[in-house]
Amino acid sequence: MIGMKTILTIIIIAAVIVPSFGQADTSKYALTIKQSKYEKTGTKTYLVVHTTLKNNTKDTLRYLSMSCSWREFYHLSNDNLSFEPWVCTKNGPIILILAPNESVDTELKLVVEKTTDTPILKFKIGLNLVEVKNNIQEVYNEYRKKNTQNIIWSNSITLI
């Protein structure tokens, strides 16, 4: 028979371990963002944001992306923003490689949703960083099946 003390110990251990399962180690990799500029096209307002992914390790990072729909790995913390729509004619999993202590820049175009009650727009961008150690197809299939979240969140930007 399991005692109450043992059950409480298991619950505490689970509470500490479970939230960190599958999360990327932010001391290893860092995502930063900078606002670049606003663009208007017709009735739409876009915000162009530059992201930088930095590999802070001594190891080469090999991570999953897609040849066309690479934006599916990015997430936004604010519902008043969305990613610019895109159309893919040919799409498949690819491996991106980032050398030790190097960084890679990516430009994202975000659609700013017009709201009258939100004059201040604060947000972060997350990158679902799925490392590829061996077979890309196996990693891709697991990602699709479980939609594993290894999100690294950027710094926060506030726009007025």
Average pLDDT, the chain: 81
CB-CB contact of 94 with 76 (8 Å): no
Mean pLDDT of 70-82: 91
- 3 state DSSP class of 129: coil
Residue 84 has what DSSP assignment?
A: P
pLDDT at 2 over 60: no
Question: What is the per-residue pLDDT for 117?
Answer: 61
pLDDT at 109 over 60: yes
Question: What is the per-residue pLDDT for 145?
Answer: 76
- 3 state DSSP class of 18: helix
pLDDT tens-digit map of 113-152: 876 565 678 899 999 998 898 888 888 888 777 766 788 9
Mean pLDDT of 90-112: 94
Mean pLDDT of 3-16: 42
Q: CA-CA distance, 152 to 21, in Å (whole number)? A: 13
- Per-residue confidence band for 102, with pLDDT thresholds at 50, 70 and 90: very high
Question: What is the per-residue pLDDT for 136?
Answer: 86
Question: What is the per-residue pLDDT for 3?
Answer: 53
